[in-house]
Amino acid sequence: MHIYLDNAATTPLDPEVIEVMVQTMQNEYGNPSSIHSHGRQAKTIVEKARKTIAQLLNAAPAEIFFTSGGTEADNMAIVRSIEAFGITHAITSPIEHHAVLHTLEELAKTGKIHLDLLRVDDKGNIDLAHLEELLANNPRTLVSLMHANNELGNLSDIQRVSEICQQYQAIFHSDTVQTMGHYPHNLSQMKIDFITGAGHKFHGPKGVGFLYINSNNKIKPLIFGGAQERNMRGGTENVYGIAGLAKALEIAYRDMEQHQSYIQGLKSYMIEELTKAIPTIQFNGNIEPQQSLYTVLNVSMPCTNMSDMLLFNLDISGISASGGSACSSGSDIGSHVLRAIQADPDRPSVRFSFSKNNTKEEIDHVVAKLKEICDSE
Protein backbone atom coordinates (compact mmCIF):
# COMPACT_ATOMS: atom_id res chain seq x y z
CA MET A 1 0.00 0.00 0.00
CA HIS A 2 1.28 3.45 -0.91
CA ILE A 3 -0.45 6.42 0.70
CA TYR A 4 -0.01 9.95 -0.64
CA LEU A 5 -0.66 12.62 1.99
CA ASP A 6 1.41 15.47 0.57
CA ASN A 7 -1.26 17.20 -1.50
CA ALA A 8 -0.25 20.67 -0.28
CA ALA A 9 3.02 20.10 -2.16
CA THR A 10 1.33 18.89 -5.32
CA THR A 11 -1.75 16.94 -6.35
CA PRO A 12 -2.18 14.10 -8.84
CA LEU A 13 -3.71 15.08 -12.16
CA ASP A 14 -7.44 14.58 -12.46
CA PRO A 15 -8.30 12.09 -15.27
CA GLU A 16 -10.51 14.70 -16.95
CA VAL A 17 -7.57 17.11 -16.95
CA ILE A 18 -5.28 14.50 -18.50
CA GLU A 19 -7.84 13.90 -21.25
CA VAL A 20 -8.05 17.61 -22.10
CA MET A 21 -4.28 18.02 -22.06
CA VAL A 22 -3.64 14.98 -24.26
CA GLN A 23 -6.20 16.16 -26.80
CA THR A 24 -4.58 19.60 -26.83
CA MET A 25 -1.07 18.16 -27.24
CA GLN A 26 -2.18 15.98 -30.11
CA ASN A 27 -4.39 18.39 -31.98
CA GLU A 28 -3.58 21.99 -31.00
CA TYR A 29 0.19 22.15 -31.40
CA GLY A 30 0.34 25.55 -33.07
CA ASN A 31 2.02 28.62 -31.59
CA PRO A 32 -0.68 30.99 -30.28
CA SER A 33 1.29 33.95 -31.67
CA SER A 34 1.17 32.60 -35.24
CA ILE A 35 -1.45 34.09 -37.53
CA HIS A 36 -2.17 30.93 -39.53
CA SER A 37 -4.99 28.53 -38.69
CA HIS A 38 -2.93 26.31 -36.39
CA GLY A 39 -1.85 29.36 -34.41
CA ARG A 40 -5.35 30.76 -34.26
CA GLN A 41 -6.69 27.45 -32.96
CA ALA A 42 -4.07 27.40 -30.20
CA LYS A 43 -4.86 31.04 -29.39
CA THR A 44 -8.53 30.11 -29.05
CA ILE A 45 -7.61 27.44 -26.47
CA VAL A 46 -5.68 30.00 -24.41
CA GLU A 47 -8.40 32.63 -24.53
CA LYS A 48 -11.15 30.13 -23.76
CA ALA A 49 -9.17 29.04 -20.68
CA ARG A 50 -8.70 32.66 -19.62
CA LYS A 51 -12.44 33.28 -19.92
CA THR A 52 -13.24 30.12 -17.92
CA ILE A 53 -10.96 31.14 -15.05
CA ALA A 54 -12.27 34.71 -15.07
CA GLN A 55 -15.89 33.54 -14.91
CA LEU A 56 -15.15 31.18 -12.00
CA LEU A 57 -13.44 33.98 -10.04
CA ASN A 58 -16.00 36.60 -11.08
CA ALA A 59 -13.30 38.68 -12.73
CA ALA A 60 -12.75 40.03 -16.22
CA PRO A 61 -10.71 37.94 -18.69
CA ALA A 62 -8.39 40.93 -19.18
CA GLU A 63 -7.45 40.65 -15.49
CA ILE A 64 -6.05 37.09 -15.80
CA PHE A 65 -2.42 36.58 -16.87
CA PHE A 66 -0.89 33.14 -17.29
CA THR A 67 2.48 32.41 -15.66
CA SER A 68 4.73 29.44 -14.96
CA GLY A 69 3.17 29.06 -11.50
CA GLY A 70 2.55 30.72 -8.17
CA THR A 71 6.15 31.75 -7.50
CA GLU A 72 6.46 33.75 -10.71
CA ALA A 73 3.05 35.29 -10.14
CA ASP A 74 3.97 36.35 -6.58
CA ASN A 75 7.26 37.83 -7.76
CA MET A 76 5.60 39.73 -10.59
CA ALA A 77 2.92 41.22 -8.35
CA ILE A 78 5.34 42.27 -5.62
CA VAL A 79 8.29 43.55 -7.63
CA ARG A 80 6.32 45.37 -10.31
CA SER A 81 3.70 46.92 -8.02
CA ILE A 82 6.43 48.39 -5.81
CA GLU A 83 8.00 49.95 -8.90
CA ALA A 84 4.77 51.07 -10.53
CA PHE A 85 3.30 52.78 -7.48
CA GLY A 86 6.50 54.17 -6.00
CA ILE A 87 6.06 52.11 -2.85
CA THR A 88 8.79 52.37 -0.22
CA HIS A 89 7.19 50.33 2.57
CA ALA A 90 5.84 46.77 2.65
CA ILE A 91 4.12 44.63 5.25
CA THR A 92 3.98 40.86 5.36
CA SER A 93 4.09 38.10 8.00
CA PRO A 94 6.97 35.87 9.12
CA ILE A 95 5.02 32.76 8.07
CA GLU A 96 4.55 33.60 4.37
CA HIS A 97 5.68 31.27 1.63
CA HIS A 98 9.26 31.94 0.59
CA ALA A 99 8.04 33.10 -2.84
CA VAL A 100 6.72 36.16 -0.98
CA LEU A 101 9.03 36.41 2.02
CA HIS A 102 12.32 36.03 0.15
CA THR A 103 11.20 38.45 -2.57
CA LEU A 104 10.37 41.17 -0.06
CA GLU A 105 13.50 40.48 1.98
CA GLU A 106 15.64 40.89 -1.12
CA LEU A 107 13.95 44.20 -1.96
CA ALA A 108 14.53 45.38 1.61
CA LYS A 109 18.17 44.24 1.52
CA THR A 110 18.82 46.33 -1.61
CA GLY A 111 17.20 49.38 0.00
CA LYS A 112 14.17 49.58 -2.27
CA ILE A 113 11.68 49.19 0.59
CA HIS A 114 11.43 49.11 4.35
CA LEU A 115 9.86 45.81 5.41
CA ASP A 116 7.74 45.22 8.51
CA LEU A 117 6.66 41.77 9.71
CA LEU A 118 3.34 41.38 11.50
CA ARG A 119 3.12 39.77 14.89
CA VAL A 120 1.73 36.24 14.94
CA ASP A 121 0.54 34.26 17.96
CA ASP A 122 1.54 30.73 18.93
CA LYS A 123 -1.16 29.35 16.63
CA GLY A 124 0.12 31.33 13.65
CA ASN A 125 -2.72 33.86 13.54
CA ILE A 126 -1.69 37.27 12.23
CA ASP A 127 -2.31 40.35 14.37
CA LEU A 128 -4.70 42.57 12.41
CA ALA A 129 -4.47 45.30 15.05
CA HIS A 130 -0.75 45.43 14.33
CA LEU A 131 -1.54 45.71 10.62
CA GLU A 132 -3.75 48.73 11.26
CA GLU A 133 -1.12 50.27 13.50
CA LEU A 134 1.55 49.93 10.82
CA LEU A 135 -0.71 51.22 8.06
CA ALA A 136 -1.75 54.25 10.12
CA ASN A 137 1.91 55.28 10.17
CA ASN A 138 2.67 54.16 6.61
CA PRO A 139 -0.25 54.67 4.23
CA ARG A 140 0.09 53.64 0.59
CA THR A 141 2.00 50.50 1.58
CA LEU A 142 2.18 47.12 -0.13
CA VAL A 143 0.53 44.45 2.05
CA SER A 144 1.21 40.82 1.10
CA LEU A 145 -0.59 38.19 3.18
CA MET A 146 -1.47 34.66 2.14
CA HIS A 147 -4.99 33.29 2.35
CA ALA A 148 -3.94 29.98 3.92
CA ASN A 149 -0.59 28.99 5.32
CA ASN A 150 0.95 26.11 3.40
CA GLU A 151 2.51 24.49 6.49
CA LEU A 152 -0.05 25.07 9.24
CA GLY A 153 -3.23 25.41 7.22
CA ASN A 154 -4.30 28.60 9.04
CA LEU A 155 -6.89 30.63 7.16
CA SER A 156 -6.58 34.42 7.20
CA ASP A 157 -9.55 36.75 6.87
CA ILE A 158 -8.48 38.31 3.59
CA GLN A 159 -11.86 40.03 3.27
CA ARG A 160 -11.10 41.93 6.49
CA VAL A 161 -7.51 42.55 5.39
CA SER A 162 -8.77 44.00 2.10
CA GLU A 163 -11.09 46.36 3.99
CA ILE A 164 -8.23 47.56 6.19
CA CYS A 165 -6.00 48.06 3.16
CA GLN A 166 -8.70 50.02 1.38
CA GLN A 167 -9.10 52.28 4.42
CA TYR A 168 -5.41 53.21 4.26
CA GLN A 169 -5.09 53.17 0.43
CA ALA A 170 -2.68 50.25 0.61
CA ILE A 171 -1.99 47.84 -2.23
CA PHE A 172 -3.08 44.31 -1.26
CA HIS A 173 -1.55 41.16 -2.73
CA SER A 174 -2.57 37.73 -1.49
CA ASP A 175 -0.90 34.42 -2.25
CA THR A 176 -3.99 32.25 -2.70
CA VAL A 177 -2.12 29.24 -4.07
CA GLN A 178 -3.26 26.89 -1.26
CA THR A 179 -6.92 27.94 -1.35
CA MET A 180 -7.44 28.32 -5.09
CA GLY A 181 -9.78 25.56 -6.20
CA HIS A 182 -10.67 24.73 -2.59
CA TYR A 183 -12.66 27.84 -1.66
CA PRO A 184 -14.65 30.22 -3.87
CA HIS A 185 -12.99 33.53 -4.70
CA ASN A 186 -15.44 36.24 -5.75
CA LEU A 187 -13.16 39.01 -6.91
CA SER A 188 -15.95 41.39 -7.82
CA GLN A 189 -16.93 41.55 -4.15
CA MET A 190 -13.43 41.92 -2.71
CA LYS A 191 -11.17 44.94 -2.97
CA ILE A 192 -7.94 43.15 -3.77
CA ASP A 193 -5.21 44.13 -6.19
CA PHE A 194 -3.42 40.85 -6.92
CA ILE A 195 -4.01 37.14 -6.25
CA THR A 196 -2.12 34.09 -7.47
CA GLY A 197 -2.94 30.53 -8.43
CA ALA A 198 -1.00 27.38 -9.41
CA GLY A 199 -2.59 24.52 -11.32
CA HIS A 200 -0.84 21.65 -9.54
CA LYS A 201 -2.44 22.49 -6.18
CA PHE A 202 -5.93 21.53 -7.41
CA HIS A 203 -5.27 18.48 -9.60
CA GLY A 204 -3.99 20.44 -12.58
CA PRO A 205 -0.57 20.40 -14.24
CA LYS A 206 2.71 21.67 -12.81
CA GLY A 207 4.51 24.58 -14.45
CA VAL A 208 1.46 26.74 -15.07
CA GLY A 209 -0.40 29.28 -12.96
CA PHE A 210 -1.88 32.73 -13.18
CA LEU A 211 -1.83 36.20 -11.72
CA TYR A 212 -4.99 38.22 -11.26
CA ILE A 213 -4.31 41.94 -11.67
CA ASN A 214 -7.20 44.23 -10.78
CA SER A 215 -8.02 46.36 -13.81
CA ASN A 216 -7.34 49.53 -11.81
CA ASN A 217 -3.65 48.61 -11.61
CA LYS A 218 -1.10 48.99 -14.38
CA ILE A 219 2.29 47.33 -13.91
CA LYS A 220 5.17 46.34 -16.17
CA PRO A 221 6.11 42.77 -17.11
CA LEU A 222 8.52 40.77 -15.01
CA ILE A 223 9.62 38.72 -18.04
CA PHE A 224 10.27 40.56 -21.29
CA GLY A 225 10.24 39.02 -24.74
CA GLY A 226 7.39 38.89 -27.19
CA ALA A 227 3.97 40.44 -26.98
CA GLN A 228 2.34 37.45 -25.30
CA GLU A 229 -0.25 37.91 -22.54
CA ARG A 230 -1.12 41.35 -23.91
CA ASN A 231 2.51 42.45 -23.54
CA MET A 232 2.57 41.43 -19.88
CA ARG A 233 4.56 38.18 -19.97
CA GLY A 234 7.06 37.31 -22.68
CA GLY A 235 7.37 33.71 -23.86
CA THR A 236 5.28 31.27 -25.85
CA GLU A 237 2.24 30.23 -23.86
CA ASN A 238 2.10 26.72 -22.37
CA VAL A 239 -1.05 25.88 -24.33
CA TYR A 240 -1.75 22.37 -23.05
CA GLY A 241 -0.80 23.41 -19.51
CA ILE A 242 -3.18 26.36 -19.68
CA ALA A 243 -5.95 24.11 -21.01
CA GLY A 244 -5.34 21.70 -18.13
CA LEU A 245 -5.25 24.51 -15.58
CA ALA A 246 -8.64 25.84 -16.68
CA LYS A 247 -10.19 22.37 -16.73
CA ALA A 248 -8.84 21.60 -13.25
CA LEU A 249 -10.28 24.81 -11.82
CA GLU A 250 -13.60 24.15 -13.55
CA ILE A 251 -13.77 20.69 -11.95
CA ALA A 252 -12.74 22.10 -8.57
CA TYR A 253 -15.58 24.60 -8.60
CA ARG A 254 -18.05 22.04 -9.92
CA ASP A 255 -17.31 19.58 -7.11
CA MET A 256 -16.18 22.02 -4.41
CA GLU A 257 -18.97 21.57 -1.88
CA GLN A 258 -18.77 17.77 -2.07
CA HIS A 259 -14.98 17.73 -1.74
CA GLN A 260 -14.95 20.22 1.13
CA SER A 261 -17.30 18.03 3.14
CA TYR A 262 -15.47 14.80 2.33
CA ILE A 263 -11.93 16.04 2.94
CA GLN A 264 -12.87 17.92 6.12
CA GLY A 265 -14.32 14.64 7.34
CA LEU A 266 -10.98 12.91 6.73
CA LYS A 267 -9.08 15.63 8.58
CA SER A 268 -11.45 15.60 11.55
CA TYR A 269 -11.26 11.81 11.67
CA MET A 270 -7.46 11.87 11.69
CA ILE A 271 -7.43 14.44 14.52
CA GLU A 272 -9.72 12.19 16.59
CA GLU A 273 -7.78 9.00 15.88
CA LEU A 274 -4.37 10.57 16.52
CA THR A 275 -5.58 12.01 19.83
CA LYS A 276 -6.76 8.58 20.92
CA ALA A 277 -3.67 6.73 19.73
CA ILE A 278 -1.03 9.26 20.89
CA PRO A 279 -2.56 11.39 23.69
CA THR A 280 0.51 13.65 23.99
CA ILE A 281 0.53 14.59 20.31
CA GLN A 282 0.31 18.31 19.55
CA PHE A 283 -1.37 20.07 16.65
CA ASN A 284 0.33 23.10 15.13
CA GLY A 285 -1.81 26.01 14.00
CA ASN A 286 -5.58 26.19 14.04
CA ILE A 287 -7.55 22.97 13.63
CA GLU A 288 -11.08 24.40 13.92
CA PRO A 289 -12.85 24.01 10.54
CA GLN A 290 -13.73 27.71 10.20
CA GLN A 291 -10.15 28.80 10.86
CA SER A 292 -8.19 26.10 9.09
CA LEU A 293 -7.66 24.91 5.55
CA TYR A 294 -9.43 21.57 5.38
CA THR A 295 -6.68 19.97 3.31
CA VAL A 296 -3.81 20.49 5.82
CA LEU A 297 -3.02 19.05 9.26
CA ASN A 298 0.30 19.75 10.99
CA VAL A 299 1.26 17.63 14.01
CA SER A 300 4.22 17.62 16.40
CA MET A 301 5.33 14.16 17.44
CA PRO A 302 6.29 13.50 21.08
CA CYS A 303 8.28 10.33 20.50
CA THR A 304 11.31 11.34 18.45
CA ASN A 305 13.42 14.43 17.95
CA MET A 306 14.66 13.52 14.49
CA SER A 307 12.45 14.87 11.72
CA ASP A 308 14.34 13.19 8.88
CA MET A 309 14.21 9.79 10.58
CA LEU A 310 10.47 10.13 11.17
CA LEU A 311 9.83 10.94 7.53
CA PHE A 312 12.15 8.10 6.49
CA ASN A 313 10.19 5.62 8.60
CA LEU A 314 6.95 6.83 7.08
CA ASP A 315 8.39 6.67 3.59
CA ILE A 316 9.63 3.10 3.88
CA SER A 317 6.14 2.23 5.12
CA GLY A 318 4.71 3.66 1.90
CA ILE A 319 3.46 6.94 3.40
CA SER A 320 4.34 10.22 1.69
CA ALA A 321 4.13 13.37 3.82
CA SER A 322 6.15 16.51 4.49
CA GLY A 323 8.01 17.34 7.68
CA GLY A 324 10.09 19.87 9.46
CA SER A 325 11.13 21.23 12.81
CA ALA A 326 11.76 24.53 14.52
CA CYS A 327 15.47 23.68 14.66
CA SER A 328 17.85 26.24 13.20
CA SER A 329 21.21 24.73 14.10
CA GLY A 330 23.73 22.83 12.01
CA SER A 331 22.64 21.75 8.55
CA ASP A 332 18.97 21.67 9.53
CA ILE A 333 17.75 25.22 9.03
CA GLY A 334 14.29 24.06 10.02
CA SER A 335 10.96 25.64 9.22
CA HIS A 336 10.67 29.42 9.43
CA VAL A 337 6.94 28.95 10.04
CA LEU A 338 7.42 26.67 13.05
CA ARG A 339 10.07 28.99 14.47
CA ALA A 340 7.74 31.95 14.08
CA ILE A 341 5.07 30.27 16.23
CA GLN A 342 7.74 29.10 18.70
CA ALA A 343 7.06 25.43 18.18
CA ASP A 344 9.00 23.02 20.35
CA PRO A 345 12.39 22.52 18.59
CA ASP A 346 12.71 19.04 20.13
CA ARG A 347 9.51 17.82 18.49
CA PRO A 348 9.58 17.08 14.77
CA SER A 349 6.48 18.04 12.86
CA VAL A 350 4.70 16.28 10.06
CA ARG A 351 2.34 17.95 7.63
CA PHE A 352 -0.34 15.63 6.32
CA SER A 353 -2.30 17.12 3.45
CA PHE A 354 -5.37 15.48 2.00
CA SER A 355 -7.23 15.27 -1.30
CA LYS A 356 -10.40 13.79 -2.71
CA ASN A 357 -8.43 10.61 -3.46
CA ASN A 358 -7.67 9.72 0.17
CA THR A 359 -9.73 7.35 2.32
CA LYS A 360 -10.43 6.62 5.99
CA GLU A 361 -8.68 3.28 5.58
CA GLU A 362 -5.52 5.16 4.63
CA ILE A 363 -5.89 7.39 7.69
CA ASP A 364 -6.22 4.30 9.91
CA HIS A 365 -3.02 2.87 8.45
CA VAL A 366 -1.07 6.11 8.97
CA VAL A 367 -2.27 6.52 12.57
CA ALA A 368 -1.30 2.92 13.33
CA LYS A 369 2.15 3.44 11.83
CA LEU A 370 2.71 6.65 13.85
CA LYS A 371 1.69 4.85 17.04
CA GLU A 372 4.04 2.00 16.17
CA ILE A 373 6.93 4.45 15.70
CA CYS A 374 6.20 6.05 19.08
CA ASP A 375 5.80 2.73 20.89
CA SER A 376 9.12 1.46 19.53
CA GLU A 377 11.11 4.31 21.10
Report, as residue numbers or ranges, the catalytic residues: 327
* C-alpha angle 54-92-337 in degrees, rounded to nearest 5: 100
Helix intervals (H) in the chain: 15-27, 37-57, 70-84, 98-109, 128-137, 158-167, 228-231, 239-254, 256-277, 307-316, 336-340, 360-375
Do the Cβ atoms of 291 and 121 come closer than 8 Å?
A: no
CB-count exposure of residue 34 (10 Å: 0-12, 13-18, 19+): middle
Whole-angstrom Cα distance, residue 247 to residue 45?
11
Which of 266-284 are b and which e, b meaning 16 or more Cβ less than 10 Å from the residue's Cβ? Answer: bbeebbebbeebbeebebb
DSSP string, 135-201: HHHS-S-EEE--SB-TTT-BBP-HHHHHHHHHHTT-EEEEE-TTTBTTB---TTSS--SEEEEEGGG
Q: 288 by DSSP, 3-state: which?
A: coil
Pairing assessment for the beta strands 64-67 and 114-117 based on DSSP bridges: unpaired
What DSSP character marks residue 289?
G
What DSSP character marks residue 322?
E
- Find the radius of gyration of the CA atoms of the chain: 21
Calculated CA dihedral for residues 213, 219, 225, 230, nearest 10 degrees:
50
- The type of residue at 232 is M
C-alpha distances (whole Å) from 224 to each of 171, 220, 292, 310 are 24, 9, 38, 45
Pairing assessment for the beta strands 89-92 and 142-144 based on DSSP bridges: parallel
